Structure 1
Amino acid sequence: MSTFLEYIAEDILRKYGSDLSRVAVVFPNKRASLFLNSQLARLSDKPIWSPAYMTISDLFREYGKLKVADPIKLVCDLYKSFVTITGSNESLDHFYSWGQLLLADFDDLDKNMANADKVFANLRDIHEYDDVSHLTDEQREAIKRFFRNFSDDQDTILKQRFLNIWSKIGAIYNDFNERLAKQGLAYEGALYRQVAENLHPSATTYETYLFVGFNLVQPVEQCVFRYLQEQGKAHFYWDFDKSYMHDNESGFYIKRLMADFPNEFDVEDDAIYNQYAKAKEIHYVSSTTENAQARFVSQWLRGNGRIEAGSKTAVVLCNEALLPAVVHCIPDEVEKVNITTGYPLAQSPVASLITLLCELRLLGYDPQRNYFRKRYLDAVLRHPYMAQLDEDDVRGLLEEKTALLEWMRTIILHIARCIHDDDPLFQECLFRCYTLLNRLQALVESGDLTVDDNTLQRLMNQLIQSTSVPFHGEPIEGIQIMGVLETRNLDFEHVLLLSCNEGNMPRGVNDTSFIPYTIRDANGMTTIDHKVAIYSYYFHRLLQRASDITILYNNSTTDGKAGEMSRFMLQMMVEDNQHQIHFNAIQTPAAIMRSNPPVIRMEKKKQLGFLTPTAINTYMRCQLRYYYKYECGLLEPEEDMEETIDNRVFGNIFHEASQQLYERMLSRSHQIQKSDIEELLKNDSEIERVIDEAIQKELKVASLDTKRLNGLQIINRQVLIHYLRQLLQLDHELAPFSIIGLETDVRDTFQTPHISTVIGGRIDRLDRIVKDGMERIRVIDYKTGGGNVKWLADVDAIFKQESLANHSDYYLQTFLYAALVKKKYPEVPVSPALLFIQHSAGKDYDPTLCFGREPITDVGPNISRFMELLRTTVDDMFNADIPYQPTEQRERCTYCPYRLLCK
C-alpha cells in the first residue's frame, strides 16, 4: 500500500526538485508534516532542502498583526465587556461556561465571515418567534441556572430574559473586539478575519504554498486559498476515495472545494483514489465495558503481524478517556510506540493534590482558631507526593498564609525540587500544573482575573480537566496510538478503532449556542450538519487505504439506554456491498461470586519483635483481618475527627489528662491522700487546665482558646471534666493508696514451637490498694465509652469465639497484663480491672473483673491455664500449616474495613 503522503512526496520532488526552500506545505494539523518529511528523505536520491511545514493556524498567525490570547484571558476580557454592556452582577465563575459558549459563537461567526450586524439584528428580532422551542432541554436548564429563578412553565419570562442578552450580543461583540485590539490581541476567529480582509502581496513569504489534505475549509481560509491561487502561488492536494464521493456526506465539502481549487492529482487515478475497493478484512466487535476494549488491544496487536508492522498499525481512540487504560494494555513485546493523544492532567496525582490543597485552604482551615482541621490536613499529608517529603517542611509550607495561587505554586515547586523522580510523566504533569498556576497568577497580577478563592478553585478544576500532557517520542516509528483528529492525512494498514459509539463518532454534534440553528444556517455559519459531515469524512478516510480493520463499540445498557454503534458503522453495513463485515463480541468472563472469602496459605514468621494483645484479639475475631492488617501492613482508616472529638480522641484526651493530674499529686508524695483529692475537687480551674492541655496536645494546635470551641467541642470538654471529677471521687473512697505506675509498659519473652517473640503492652494505671482488709495490686484499663462487659464464666471462655461478643478481648488484654505484673510481684495478689468511667458513679462500684459473679482478686490461681491457652492460640497464629481463614461470624464483616478485599 502506498500512502497518500508518499504520492505527495513523489509529486513534490518531480515538480519542484531538491531545493524546496521556497515551498511551504500547509496541513490541517502538525502530525502529517513529520511523515511527509520522512517520505521526501526516503524518496530523494540526493540531499534536499526541506520545505517549510506549517498548519493553517500557523499561516494565519504569520500574516496577522494581532496575537491570539490564551483562553483564560479571552474569557476574562469577555466577562468585562459583558458586565460593561449589560450591567450584570453575575460572578465570573457563573459566567465562565457561558463565556466559552459566547466566545465560540464569535469565533464561528468570524471564521465564516458572516455579517455580524445582520446576525445580531436577527437576534434582536427573535421576538418574532412564538416560543423558545429551538432550545434543547440542556440549554433551557443552563439558561434557568443562569437566571436562577425560573420555574418549568415560565417560557415567557425565560424568553424575555434571554432576549435581554440576545439584544446586547452585538454590543458585547464590538466592545470585546475593541478591548482586545487595544492590547494587540484577538481570538482566533477575529485574527483569521482580519487577515482574510487585509491580504496584500507583501504578506506572502514563500513562492509556493501546497495545501494538503483539507476537508471543510472555512470562508476565511478560502479567502487565503483564493488570494494565493490568483497569484499563482497556491496548489491543492485533496485526500478522498471514490467510494464516498457520490451520495455520501463524507465527500460533500471536497466535491465543492475541488470545483474552485483544482486537485494537483488526476481525480480518476484509481491508484490514489480508488483504494477502498481493494480487499479488506473488516470486523465489528461489541463489548460490554470500555475497559474490556482497552484489554482487547494487547490481543489484537499480537495478531496478524500488527506489532511487526510498526507505524503502519494504528490504535485510534474515539473516546480519548480510554488512553490511560490502553497505555497499560500495550504488550511487553512492543518495543516502540508513539502516542499522539495527550495524557489527561486530571488523571494525574498532581491534579488530586491541587484538589486536596484547595479543600484544605477553603474547607479545612479555621481562621478563628488558626489551625487546619485534622481530616483535611491528614488527606494532604497522606498524598503520595507529600508523603515523600519531610513532614516538618510540609507543615511549614502549609502554614504559610500567602494568597492561594502563590501558596500552591510554592508547594508544587518544593515537590519538584525535593522529589528526585526520573519518571517523565511525573515531571511533565508537575511542570504542566505549575505552568497553569503561573498563568493564573499572571492574570491575577495584571488585573485581568479578579475572583475569590472559591471561584478560583472552580476555574482551576475546569482548566485541569481540559489540559493534557503530551508524550514524547519518535512520531514516525512504532505503533501509533492516537485520537481521531490526529489521523488526518495519515494512512495505516492495520486500524483498530475503540469505542466507536454514537456520541463518540461523530462526537459532540449538539448545537449549543446563543445563535439558533435557523439564523446560523441562513448566515452560512457552522451547524450540526457540518459537524456530522466532518466526522463522516474522518471515519471513511481513515479506512480507505487500510486492509485490516477492527472496530469496537460498547453495547452495554446505561441509565436504561443501550449503547449504540456509530451511525457510520450502520451506514457501512447498509451501503458497502464490496466487503464482508464479520461480527464478534468480547467475551467478558462472568464475575465469580464467592459465597466464602479466600483462605490464604503462606510461610509465617519464626521470630517477631513484639506481639500485642490487640493483634491476638484481631486474630481470634477474624484471621483474615489479622492477615490484612499485620501481615500485609494495610492500615485501617482512622476515624475523622472533623469538627467534633471522636471516641478514640476522646479516650486519648482523658488518658492524657488523668496521667498529668495524678503525676502532679505524686510529685508531692508517694501516696495519694484523701486531702490531695479533696483539694483538687475544690479547684475546678486545675481540672479544667489539664483537660485543656490534653485537648491542645491531641488536636496538635499551638494554643487553645476555649471561647472559640464549637458547640460539640464545648460539650465534649464538659463531659471530660465531669469524667475526671468522677474518677477523683471514686479514688477519694479508696485513699490512701499508692500508684505504682501510669501509662506503664510491661512485656516479657514468649516462646512457642512456632514463634519466638516479646509479648506485652501498656497499662493505663497500676496501683496498690487496701480494700476489705486485703492488700492487692490492680491492673486498670480506663474505658471512656458507654459499653459494659458481661462477666465470663472462667479462663477458657476468654478464648472461645462465642465469648467475643461479650468483649472477651478486654479480658485477654487486662488478664495478660495482670499475669505479667504477677510475675514481678509474686507475693502480692494482682487483680485485673476495667474502669468504665460512665458507670463509676454507682454505689459500691468495683472495676475488678469477675469470673461468674466472683471478683478476680488475684490472677495467680488462673495464670497456668491462661498461659496454656494463650500459647496454643499464638502458636496457631504462626503455624504455617494453618491457613488464614475468615470468621464464621459474618455479622462482624459489616463493620470490617477489609470486607471489600475478601468479598
Structure 2
Amino acid sequence: MNSFLDDCAADILRKYDNNDAVCVVFPNKRTMLHFRKSYARIKNEVSFSGHLYPIDKVFNQFLPSVKADDLTLLFKLYDAFRQVFAHEGMKNAGIAADFDAFYDSGRKILSDFNEIDNYLVDINQLCRNFADLSEIDAFYAPSMAQEVIEIIRQFWANFSQQRLSNEKARYLELWTGLPKVYQIFRQSLTEAHVCYTGMKNRAICDLIDQKGLDTKYATYIFVGFNVLNKCERKIFRYLYNAKKARFYWDADDYYISDKVQEAGLFMRRLIDEFPDELHGKRPPNLIVGNPKQVEYIGVPLEVGQAKCVHDIITQLSKLPDYNETRTAVVLGDEHLLFPVLNSLPACVERVNVTMGYPFVETPVYSFLLNCLQLRRNYRANRTGGDYYYNDVLAVINHPLVVNIPEFCSKQIEARIREERLIRVNADLIGSYGNLLSIIFCSQENEKQPADIIQTFLTILSELYFAKNPEPTETPKLENEFIFNAYTSLKSLYNNVLTLPQDISPDLVASIVKEHLVGIKVPFESDDDNGIQLTGMMETRNLDFDNVIMIGMNEGVFPKRSENNSFVTEGMRLAFDMPVVKYKDAVFGYFFYRLLQRAKNVKV
C-alpha cells in the first residue's frame, strides 16, 4: 500500500509538476524530507521542482522577524512586571523584588502570553476585573454564549470579598495587572526588534486585517497538519479564500465519523473547513477497510517490554513479505531506547534511530549534577575555599571519570578518609591535576553569571580530552553526550552575556540544570534503511507495514498533563484556549494514524 506521502507526492506531481509558483508547506522538516524522497521515487528525479518549506519558514516570509531566546524574553518581561507590581503595598511586590523571585512565575506568564497571542485572545477581556458579578452578563453577552458566560461567572465567584484569602488576593492582583504587563512587555520587544512565536503569529493576523499578506507563491499546498492554533487557522483561511491554498490531511474515517473519538477532535473541523485534495470531506476508511493483525501484549517491567521486542522482530522477520525498512519500533517512553537497542535480535541488519534521547538519562548529566551539588555547598575562606567531603567523593568516584588516571580518585579518597576531612580544601584537590583544579576551583573568581557557565564549558572540554587522549575513528557514545552538553551550554553562555548581570549564583545553577534537563541528544537521521526506532511524535505522517509500540501504559503515554499556567482550565475553556484534554486528543491521533496503513501491529 502507498504511504500517505506517496499519495500526496503523486497527486501534486500530476497537478503541479514543473510549477515554480508552487510552495509545499509541512509541519516539520522530517515530513518534508520524506515527501522529497516519495517524489523522487515516483518521478525518478532527485528533487521537487517547486519549493518545499516547513511552516515556520513560510510564516517568516510573510513577516520577517527575529525570535528572542527565552532568557532575553524573561528579563524583558521582568522589567515590565516591575513597572506594574514593584510598588510598596502591592501583594506581588515580593515577586518583583528581584529576578530570582520572579523566575518561576515569569516562565508561566511568558507561556500564557504566547498562548494568548496564538489563540487571538483579547487579554483585556480575559483579565477584566468585575467588582459586581452582575456586570459579567452585560459585558460578555453580545459576543459569548450563555454557557461560556456561566464559566466566567463561576471563576469570579471564587473572588468574592467574603472569601478572599491572602493567596486569592495576590492572585487577583496579578490577574488584573497582567494586561498592563502584556502591553509594556510587547512594546519593549517591538522597540528591540525581537518577538516570541505567538507575538509574531498574531502580527501576521493583524496584517491580514489591515492590508493582506504579500504572498510569494501562487499556490501554497499544506501537507500533513493535524492541529492548528487560531492564528494558523486564520492564515490558512485567508489563503484558502484567496484561492491560493490546497490541503492534504492524513486522516481516517474511523475517528472522523465517530464524534466521540478524541483522535478526530481537531481534524474533523479542519477537514470540514478546508476540504482535502484527495478525498474531499470524507477521508478513506483505512483502519477498518484494510486487513491487519493487531495484538495487545501484557509484559511485566520495562526491561521485559524491551526483551519482548526481540521476540516480535524475530517472528516478523520470518514472514515472506517482511521488509526491515517498513518496520518501526515506536517508544511511548523514550527512556526505553537503550534497553531496546541492546535487545534487538541478530537478524536485524540495520537500525535507524530517529528520536531524541533525554540527556537526563546519560552519565554526563549525573556527573554535571554532582558538580552543581558540589558548588552549592562550597564555602569561602582565607585559604581559598573548601568543599564538603561527600560532594567531593561523589564527583571523583563518578563512573564517568573514576577510571581517568588524572582524577587520582583512590589517592584523594584515601587522604580524605585517612585525615578524616569534613571540609576539603579546593587547592588540595586541584593540585592533583588540571581538570580537578577546574572542577574544584575557588568560586571567588567567578564575578559574573556567565563566568559560572564558562567554568562548566571548560570542564566539559577538558573532560572530553581526558577521556580521549588519542584520536579515534570510532566515536564513543559518551563523546556525543559531552558534545551536546557543550553546544547547549555554549548557546546559554552567549545568551547570558547580553543580559543584566544581577542574577544570583543559585539561580544560574538552576538555569544550567534546567537547560541540561531540556537537552535531547539528537539520534536523528533521514535514512530510510533499516528498522526505524522512533518516538511517537516522530512518526507523524509516516507509514509502516509492521508497527511495534512499547511503553504505552497509562500515565506514560501520554504523559500526565499539568496545567502550569495562571489561566485556569475554566477560563481557558471560556476563551477557547488549549485545555488539558487537548493533549490526549493529539496523542490519540498519533496512535490511530499509525494503524491506518499498517499490516501487523503489536502493542
Match of 1:295 among 276, 284, 307: 307
Shift of 1:163: 0.9
Contact 1:21 1:49 in 2 (8 A): no
Shift of 1:220: 0.8
Match of 1:388 among 380, 401, 404: 404
Residue of structure 1 in register with 2:225 after alignment? 214
Q: Distance in 2 between matches of 1:22 and 1:487?
A: 30
**Residue 491, structure 1, aligned to residue 558, structure 2:** no
Q: Deviations over 1:108-166 (max 9, x none)?
A: 1111111222112168989986789999xxxxxxxxxxxxxxxxxx9722211211211
Residue of structure 2 in register with 1:423 after alignment? 475
Taking structure 2 as the reference length, the TM-score comes to 0.80
Residue of structure 1 in register with 2:193 after alignment? 184
Q: Distance in 1 between matches of 2:9 and 2:226?
A: 20
Residue of structure 2 in register with 1:331 after alignment? 345
Amino acid at match of 2:65: L
Match of 1:532 among 570, 575, 584: 584
Amino acid at match of 2:367: L
- The 5-angstrom pairing of residues 811-826 of structure 1 reads none
Shift of 1:398: 3.6
Amino acid at match of 1:6: D
Contact 1:281 1:547 in 2 (8 A): yes
Shift of 1:356: 2.3
**Residue 304, structure 1, aligned to residue 316, structure 2:** yes
Residue of structure 1 in register with 2:394 after alignment? 379
Amino acid at match of 2:364: V
**Residue 265, structure 1, aligned to residue 278, structure 2:** yes
Q: Deviations over 1:744-801 (max 9, x none)?
A: xxxxxxxxxxxxxxxxxxxxxxxxxxxxxxxxxxxxxxxxxxxxxxxxxxxxxxxxxx
- The 5-angstrom pairing of residues 872-883 of structure 1 reads none
Q: Distance in 1 between matches of 2:71 and 2:345?
A: 40
Amino acid at match of 1:266: H
Q: Deviations over 1:533-559 (max 9, x none)?
A: 2222222112122121111xxxxxxxx
Residue of structure 2 in register with 1:413 after alignment? 461
Q: Distance in 1 between matches of 2:558 and 2:366?
A: 31
- State the identity as a percent: 29
Residue of structure 2 in register with 1:164 after alignment? 173
Distance of aligned partners of 1:424 and 1:94 in 2 relative to their CA distance in 1, 3 Å threshold: farther
- The 5-angstrom pairing of residues 693-772 of structure 1 reads none
Q: Deviations over 1:652-693 (max 9, x none)?
A: xxxxxxxxxxxxxxxxxxxxxxxxxxxxxxxxxxxxxxxxxx
Distance of aligned partners of 1:533 and 1:359 in 2 relative to their CA distance in 1, 3 Å threshold: closer
Q: Distance in 2 between matches of 1:92 and 1:329?
A: 48
Q: Distance in 1 between matches of 2:316 and 2:379?
A: 59
Amino acid at match of 1:41: A
Residue of structure 2 in register with 1:637 after alignment? none
**Residue 363, structure 1, aligned to residue 377, structure 2:** yes
Q: Distance in 1 between matches of 2:78 and 2:302?
A: 39
Residue of structure 2 in register with 1:852 after alignment? none
More strand by share: 1
Residue of structure 2 in register with 1:5 after alignment? 5
Amino acid at match of 2:459: I
- The 5-angstrom pairing of residues 662-701 of structure 1 reads none
Contact 1:314 1:479 in 2 (8 A): yes
Residue of structure 2 in register with 1:477 after alignment? 529
Amino acid at match of 1:413: S
Between 257-266 and 89-98, report the one with greater CA deviation. 89-98
Q: Secondary structure at the match of 1:24?
A: strand
**Residue 256, structure 1, aligned to residue 269, structure 2:** yes
Residue of structure 2 in register with 1:437 after alignment? 489
Residue of structure 1 in register with 2:413 after alignment? none
Q: Distance in 1 between matches of 2:337 and 2:191?
A: 42
Contact 1:506 1:535 in 2 (8 A): yes
Residue of structure 2 in register with 1:875 after alignment? none
Residue of structure 2 in register with 1:773 after alignment? none
Residue of structure 2 in register with 1:15 after alignment? 15
Contact 1:340 1:482 in 2 (8 A): yes
Residue of structure 1 in register with 2:293 after alignment? 281
Q: Distance in 1 between matches of 2:72 and 2:228?
A: 27
Gaps of 5+ in 2: 87-92, 137-151, 407-431, 447-451
Distance of aligned partners of 1:175 and 1:268 in 2 relative to their CA distance in 1, 3 Å threshold: closer
Between 364-373 and 511-520, report the one with greater CA deviation. 364-373
- The 5-angstrom pairing of residues 835-874 of structure 1 reads none
Contact 2:335 2:361 in 1 (8 A): no
Residue of structure 2 in register with 1:643 after alignment? none
Q: Distance in 2 between matches of 1:269 and 1:317?
A: 31
Q: Distance in 1 between matches of 2:105 and 2:266?
A: 31
Residue of structure 2 in register with 1:650 after alignment? none
**CA RMSD, Structure 1 to Structure 2 (Å):** 3.0
Residue of structure 2 in register with 1:204 after alignment? 215
Aligned length: 532
Amino acid at match of 1:30: K
Residue of structure 2 in register with 1:779 after alignment? none
Between 155-164 and 215-224, report the one with greater CA deviation. 155-164
- The 5-angstrom pairing of residues 891-902 of structure 1 reads none
Q: Secondary structure at the match of 2:207?
A: coil
Q: Deviations over 1:504-559 (max 9, x none)?
A: 334444434211233222222122343332222222112122121111xxxxxxxx
Q: Distance in 1 between matches of 2:383 and 2:441?
A: 15
**Residue 89, structure 1, aligned to residue 87, structure 2:** no
Q: Secondary structure at the match of 1:303?
A: helix
Q: Distance in 2 between matches of 1:261 and 1:424?
A: 49
Contact 2:247 2:275 in 1 (8 A): yes
Amino acid at match of 2:438: L
Residue of structure 1 in register with 2:598 after alignment? 546
Distance of aligned partners of 1:45 and 1:318 in 2 relative to their CA distance in 1, 3 Å threshold: closer
- The 5-angstrom pairing of residues 132-143 of structure 1 reads none
Q: Deviations over 1:309-341 (max 9, x none)?
A: 223211222222322332332334323222222
Shift of 1:7: 0.6
Amino acid at match of 2:311: Q
Amino acid at match of 1:120: C
Q: Deviations over 1:205-237 (max 9, x none)?
A: 333211012222222112221222233321101
**Residue 80, structure 1, aligned to residue 97, structure 2:** no
Distance of aligned partners of 1:405 and 1:532 in 2 relative to their CA distance in 1, 3 Å threshold: closer
Q: Deviations over 1:475-504 (max 9, x none)?
A: 322212222222221111111222222333
Match of 2:364 among 350, 373, 379: 350
**Residue 320, structure 1, aligned to residue 320, structure 2:** no
- The 5-angstrom pairing of residues 601-612 of structure 1 reads none
Amino acid at match of 2:188: R
Distance of aligned partners of 1:491 and 1:214 in 2 relative to their CA distance in 1, 3 Å threshold: same
Shift of 1:364: 4.2
- Of structures 1 and 2, the larger Rg is shown by 1
Distance of aligned partners of 1:321 and 1:45 in 2 relative to their CA distance in 1, 3 Å threshold: closer
**Residue 452, structure 1, aligned to residue 504, structure 2:** yes
Amino acid at match of 1:158: E
**Residue 101, structure 1, aligned to residue 108, structure 2:** yes
Contact 2:317 2:347 in 1 (8 A): no
Q: Secondary structure at the match of 1:314?
A: strand
Q: Distance in 2 between matches of 1:328 and 1:134?
A: 54
Contact 1:24 1:52 in 2 (8 A): yes
**Residue 113, structure 1, aligned to residue 142, structure 2:** no
Residue of structure 2 in register with 1:697 after alignment? none
Match of 2:249 among 211, 225, 238: 238
Amino acid at match of 2:596: Q
Shift of 1:470: 0.2
Distance of aligned partners of 1:347 and 1:275 in 2 relative to their CA distance in 1, 3 Å threshold: closer
Q: Distance in 2 between matches of 1:125 and 1:369?
A: 65
Amino acid at match of 1:289: L
Distance of aligned partners of 1:70 and 1:311 in 2 relative to their CA distance in 1, 3 Å threshold: farther
Q: Secondary structure at the match of 1:521?
A: helix
Residue of structure 2 in register with 1:835 after alignment? none
Amino acid at match of 1:262: P
Q: Distance in 1 between matches of 2:376 and 2:233?
A: 50
Residue of structure 1 in register with 2:236 after alignment? 225
Q: Deviations over 1:66-121 (max 9, x none)?
A: 21222333333323332332213335445433333222221111111112221121
